Amino acid sequence: MTLAPRVVLVHRRTELTEVLERHGTRGQAAFYLRTRGQRIEDLEERHAAVTSALTAVAAAIPQDWRRGLVERVDLPRFLFAQDDLVVVVGQDGLVANVAKYVADQVVIGIDPEPGRNPGVLVPHQPKATAELLSAATASPGGRVEALSMVTAVTDDGQELTALNEIYLGQPTHQTARYTLRVPEGQAEAQASSGLIVATGTGGTGWSRSAWLERHSSLTLPSPAEARLAWFVREAWPSPATGTALTEGSLAASEALEVTAESDQLVLFGDGVESDTVPLTWGQTARLRISSRSLRLLR
């Protein structure tokens, strides 16, 4: 007997929920915000928009289909099935959070607040859910875009994968010391604020900021392109450290190697500093295009 499709609905707690949890009552939360020139009504409006979107998406799932519900904080403990349809209701960053926990599953991004989010990864409105689910289960399965991801692998076998970018540096964002080796063979000892290795999807975020700030002539990759861009942040010249290798591209077969020369560096992906891979003195990490991609329904 063939099981009905399962839709896993992913969301995150709203700002209103977090504020009420912190302050206990609406009155206390409203007072706290008012003393800082803010209005609880604004959070309530956003909460209502997200709640309405979740309700509309849930109502669009066929009644005979299976369904699951998971909050962002529970993603590391949630087991996705290979044939799940993953519907993300929230900001673009929530899709990036989901990406590291799925493999070949189709992901559908729903924007609960159109006009407030860029909508790069959540391009659809709640009212389109039924049509999107139908397209995802039809043959050939709608227009699915495979977005490139970036992976870091340490010399002791630890691995980290991200959709936007991986940051390597000090956990406090202070000076990181390491030796950088590029695919062409050059190596340079550096002292910097760390480095960013980004995909084309990440090219709309942190790496784009670095790219714009330095007026780089580097061409950023497109989201589905098997190429990465990397940038060293605030490299410091000294008798022992250089600034010659501060940006570049990585093709599908290439890797950037970093050997730690600080007591402890960390790697984390997509801004999630609570999920890090440590890199201790003398350890090496290789950063490259991941063999995985995010299958996003357009």
Shared domain for 191 and 127, answered yes or no, is no
Do residues 173 and 285 both lie within one domain?
yes
Q: Alpha-carbon distance 226 to 3, whole Å? A: 35
CATH code of the domain in which 119 resides? 3.40.50
Q: Are residues 177 and 263 in the same domain?
A: yes
Does residue 1 fall inside a structural domain? no
Q: Is 265 exposed, middle or buried (0-12, 13-18, 19+ CB in 10 A)?
A: buried
* Domain that residue 123 falls in: 6-142
Residues 36 and 156 in one domain: no
Q: Residue 22: inside a domain, yes or no?
A: yes
Give residue for tokens 């409105």. 125
131 with 165, same domain: the answer is no
Show which of 110, 142, 174 is a domain's final residue: 142
Same domain, yes or no: 113 and 86: yes
Q: Are residues 266 and 216 in the same domain?
A: yes
Q: How many domains does the chain have?
A: 2
pLDDT in tens, the chain (298 residues): 578 999 999 999 999 999 999 999 999 999 999 999 999 999 999 999 999 999 999 999 999 999 999 999 999 899 999 999 999 999 999 999 999 999 989 999 999 999 888 889 999 999 999 999 999 988 666 689 999 999 999 999 999 999 999 999 998 888 999 999 999 999 999 999 999 999 999 988 889 999 999 999 999 999 999 999 999 999 999 999 999 999 999 999 999 999 999 888 999 999 888 789 999 999 999 999 999 999 999 8
Pull the structure tokens for residue 189.
């000892």
Kindly report the pTM of this predicted structure. Answer: 0.89
On whether both 210 and 83 belong to a single domain, the answer is no
CA-derived radius of gyration, the chain: 21
